[in-house]
Each structure stands twice: as C-alpha cells, then as structure tokens.
Structure 1
Amino acid sequence: MRLACLALLLSATPALAFPVTVQSCNREVTFDAPPARAIANDVNLVEMMLALGLRDRMVGYTGVSGWKTLDEELRKDIAELPELSAQYPTREVLAGAEPDFFFAGWNYGMKVGGEVTPETLEPLGIKTYELTESCIFVGPKAKSSMQDMYADLLNLGRIFGVEDRAKELVAGYEARLAELTTGVNRATPLRVFVYDSGEETPFTAGAYAMPTALIEAAGGVNIMDDLDKSWATIAWEPVVDRNPEVIVIVNYGDVTAEQKIAFLEGNPAFANIDAVKNDRYVVLEYVEATPGPRNIRAVEKLVAGFAAD
C-alpha cells in the first residue's frame, strides 16, 4: 500500500522542464539540467544564491574578503563554503574547483577581454550567467531599474529548477517595495550624489548602476544619472555644481563611512554643498548598493533618509 501511494505521489509530481534557455546580457545560454557545482563571485551575487535556497548547489565563492565586504549576517550563511579567491578568480582557480556554473558580472569577477569570460570558461564545461546590471559593458542596456535584480533572481530560478521559489521571492520584494514607497513625493525629487570612494577624484554611480534605481524608487534623483556608465570616476566640479541635497555613502573596505564623511566636511571646496551644510548623509553597505536581496532594505534606508529634516 505504501509503495503504491509513493508511486502515485511521484507520478503526480511534475518533472522539471529542462532544457531551459535564459538571456544573459547579449547571449542566450541553455542548460540541460540544473547546475550542481556552482560558484558565485561577489557578496551580492552570493546572497542571491542563498535567497533562492541554493547553498547546497555551491562548491565555493570568490571575490568577497579581498574587498572587505563580508558581514556577520552573510558570514554565518556561508561558513562551510570555501572562498576560492579573495578577489577576481583566475581561470585556473575556477577550473581547480571543477564547477559547472559561474555566476558573475562584468567588473564583478570578469573583465572584458580578460582571462575569465563566458567564452574562456565554456571549454572547461563551465556555463556562465552574467549579472544584468553589468551588461552595459558588453552591449546596449536600459537605464538601471529594480527589474535588473528581479530578472537575475527569476533567471536563476529557471536555471536551477526553482522557478516557483524565485517568483514568490520577487513578488514579496515587489510588495514590500510598494509598501515602502507609498506616499513618496516624486514630483520634486531630492538631488542625490553617490560617494563610493576616492578623494582626489570620486568614484560614483552613473545611469546603469543600481543606486540610480534605488534612489529613484525612494523619490530622489541621482545627480549623475546622465553619466553614460555604470560605476565610474569623475571630477569633483560637477558634484559641486549640481549641489546634491543628500549624499549616499557606500560603506566597505579600509576607509569607513565615517572617514568619508569627515573628508567631505573637512574640505573647504565642499562647504557650500547643501548635503554637507545640512549634514544629510545616508550610509548604504556595499551589499545594499549593488544588485541583490538587500536592495529592498536600501530603499527603506533611503526613504527614511530623504524624509529626515
């Protein structure tokens, strides 16, 4: 009787629909079966994998501790996984782990024309899925939006055969985002500058970087949203000229958010910037400012920071 019931249950369970084909930047990638030995590069991409419950499909990760972006919340979740490379992995490092899947992005573990690309990994039996935000480096792309992060989660869901889980996760994020931004005034958006790093010249977010989408969702406008780049180094002059009302500080690495704020407030050249005069800063952790599950928390921080007097 038990065997008959088990057979009936198994027959009622739908088989995973493979092969599946997903769009990865300017490529289509087909998977004949869900990956079983995955590697993700960078803290935000690792968190996407964890949010989908895919830790048991991973053999390691790369590109986290070398940038000092690993926090305690994530450290617990990946304690048993090896970090195969502190920063960008080499082709040899990846080959040595014998993965069948690499989740990375352009300037998130891969560089155009570099040693590690989808084309160089394919002969090793490693299929690559590229972070949507980074696609601007290999072809045309729309301006950054929350849909970039949702698309990656949904594509990963299809790749790993957990599509329902991915859809449920994205629906939850969309509902929470709608709740957070109810009543946000977008008619007169606050002028916002993203300060990642650099003193002589600042490294900031352009039109194709995730903070632009986060700022817009929270009712602001990135003063550098006409910068036809993702993340880039610019001069200080346009920052002063465009006079941001709020400065978003990206916190990671050896220079703390407090030190970045002290630099801004201690430089006479910035004394007339509204954000500096009024002490209006919002600190986002690196993992909140790059595409991933903590983007919703980032919007929550921005909404609160923009509303503060």
Structure 2
Amino acid sequence: MMKLTTTTALFTLAASTAFAQATVQSCDREVTFDAPPQAAISNDVNLTEMMLVLGLTDHMVGYTGISGWNKLDAAMREGVDELPELSAQYPSKEVLIGADADFFFAGWNYGMRVGGEVTPETLAPFGVAVYELTESCIHIGEKGAASMDDMYNDLRNLGAIFNVSERAEALIDGYEAELDAFLASQPALAPAPRVFVYDSGEDAPFTAGRYAMPNALIEAAGGVNIMEDFEKSWATVGWEAVVERNPEVIVIVDYGEVTAAQKRDFMMSNPAFAELDAIKNDRFVVLEYVEATPGPRNIAAVKTLAAAFRDN
C-alpha cells in the first residue's frame, strides 16, 4: 500500500511558475480558474487521495464522505490527519458553504446526485467552483468506456487548477511506467479470463458495467469484464445474467458492513452458483473500495488483478 505522506513530501516545494488562468473540461462544462483554490474540499476516499498525492493539503479546508462508509484505512488516516471531515457521508450545501469553501472536487454519485441539492449549478452562486470526477460524467451525458486515462485526466486537470502541473505530469509518467514495466513482465493470457465484479447485494448483485473503473482495471490486467456490454456505471443486474456468463474469476469490492469474507461465503455456499467456474475453482480477488474507484491506487489494483488472473 502506498505511503501518502511520503509521496506528498516529494512535492513540498512551491511551484516556481506564476499562475496563468486555467481552463479545464469538467464533464460537459468548461471551468476557468483565475487563481488556485485556497479552501478546497474533496469528497470520498479516492478523490481525496488524488488531492493528497498532488500535495494539496495546504489548499484544503477539509474532506467529506469517507468515515460514513467505513473507507478510512491507516494510510488514508495519516494523510488526512490535519484535515477535518466535514460530513461523514454526502455533504449538504450548507456544510460546504459553512466551511467557506471555494472549490469542491466531487463526482456524480461521488458526493453529488443528479437533481440533488449539491451540484455545480447550486454551488456557483456561493463562489464554490466544482470539478467533476471524469469517470462519473456518464451520469449526465455521453462518455466512452472507463479507462485508466480517466484517472490520469483528473490528476492532470487538478494539476492545472492548483498550478502544480509538473507534479501531476511526473506522477502520471511514473504510474504509466510502473504499470507498463509490471505488465511486460507478466506472461500473456489467452484467452482473457471472464471476470465478475461483486460489490454488494444478495437478492441482486450491484456490479460494475462498462463505465465503471473496474472495467478499465480488468482490461488493463488482461481480463474481460462479463458485464462490459452493460451500458451502466455501477448498477444492479440479475443473478441470472451472472450465471449465464459464467465468470472464471470474481472480484470482490471490500468496504462497508458486509466483509469481503462474508461476500465470498455467500457465493460459495449458494447452490445457484455451484457450477460457476469461479466457484468450482475458488478464484476470488479482493479489491478495497479505494482501489476499485478512480484514484492513485488503481496502479496497485491492476497489479493485483494481473497476478490473480495468471494464478490458476
């Protein structure tokens, strides 16, 4: 697991270049910044980690949406030690305004809901600029399938917004090189293993379609998401579709009150799944929520998946 404070310490020097007006694409909007935000708030663990690895805690007044979902691990806890959590789950408009925020890094279903009280439009009159998580843009318009470039795009845009583009590009280059070197060392897979992402749910599973980050992680690792043709991000499907597509590997997303072990036990003990290749061969992989959603730990997630796909 990466050490957030170590990464941040690499970038303690202030940017040497003067800030020029920055315009970035945020879903279907262009957002212009005349100066770097000084009172930023991020929502959710993965978005907050993007801020941390870019060394932006001095520009933050807090974060939201982590402890209420049981997502805070040791590395994350140390990284945000000096920042307050302003809301355990999704923040209200009053929470953000009350913190005198000038910037909110969130996404659709990552702190904002379509038609909800916290949106770019509702916050704009109060001087709070919003940058939207790229992966989440599918909820308000058209977008291609999730890719590793979604996460890199967010780091690059945050770099422009906060005048730390050199840091962002250095991180992206490092992530790409690390991943390329690791994957080049792995034996080829033929055919690609069929993979099912099990987030939660017993009556019907909540899973990752083509627009959710695990689709990109699985593809990068050499597998194929059995729901890659499901025109959704994170959504519920029927168990019948899972059985019909017969996954060879099941990826469990670990967070919340139901543990990864309990999710595995549910699938292993249910007679309806007994003939699935993944069940017969007991092939499960566990990813933490922060690994399965867009953020710096996607690199480790691809490595974990790639190794698991080849361990049969």
* TM-score range for the pair, normalised by the shorter chain length: over 0.9
Corresponding residue for residue 191 of structure 1: 194
Residues 1:50 and 2:52 aligned together: yes
Name the CA distance, whole Å, in 2 between partners of 1:39 and 1:199.
Answer: 34
Equivalent residues in 2 for 1:1-309 (5 A)?
A: 15-182=17-184, 183-185=186-188, 187-309=190-312
Contact 1:191 1:223 in 2 (8 A): yes
Find the residue that maps to 2:117 and give its secondary structure: coil
Rounded to whole Å, the distance in 2 between the matches of 1:218 and 1:157 is 27
**Paired residue type of 2:264:** I
Report deviation, 1:251.
Answer: 0.1
**CA apart distance, 1:304:** 1.1
Q: Any idea what SS the aligned residue of 2:217 has?
A: helix
**Equivalent residue number for residue 8 of structure 1:** none
Report if aligned partners of 2:189, 2:310 keep a CA contact under 8 Å in 1: no
Unmatched runs of 5 consecutive residues or more in structure 1: 1-12
What's the CA shift for 1:17?
3.8
Percent of aligned pairs with the same amino acid: 67
Q: What's the offset of the Cα at 1:185?
A: 2.6
Could you state the TM-score of these two structures normalised by the residue count of structure 1? 0.95
Shift of 1:179: 1.2
1:14 is displaced (CA, Å) by 5.8
Give the residue type in structure 2 aligned to 1:165: R
Distance (whole Å) between structure 2 residues aligned to residue 160 and residue 58 of structure 1: 11
1:2-31 deviation line (CA, Å, top 9, x unaligned): xxxxxxxxxxx9642421100000000000
Range moving further from structure 2, 270-279 or 13-22: 13-22
Question: 2:4 maps to which residue?
Answer: none
**In structure 2, C-alpha distance between the alignment counterparts of 1:186 and 1:227, rounded to whole Å:** 24
| Post-superposition offset of 1:184 | 4.9
Q: Deviations over 1:188-236 (max 9, x none)?
A: 1100000000000000000000000000000000000001010001100
Return the letter of the residue paired with 1:170: I
* Partners of 1:62 and 1:129 in 2: CA distance: 15
Q: TM-score, normalised by structure 2?
A: 0.94
CA distance in 2, matches of 1:211, 1:296: 12
Equivalent-residue separation in structure 1 for 2:140 and 2:189 (angstroms) = 32
Count of aligned pairs between the two proteins: 297
The answer (yes or no) to whether the contact 1:184–1:219 under 8 Å persists in 2 is no
Runs of 4+ in 1 over 4 A off after TM superposition: none
Q: Which has the larger radius of gyration?
A: 1
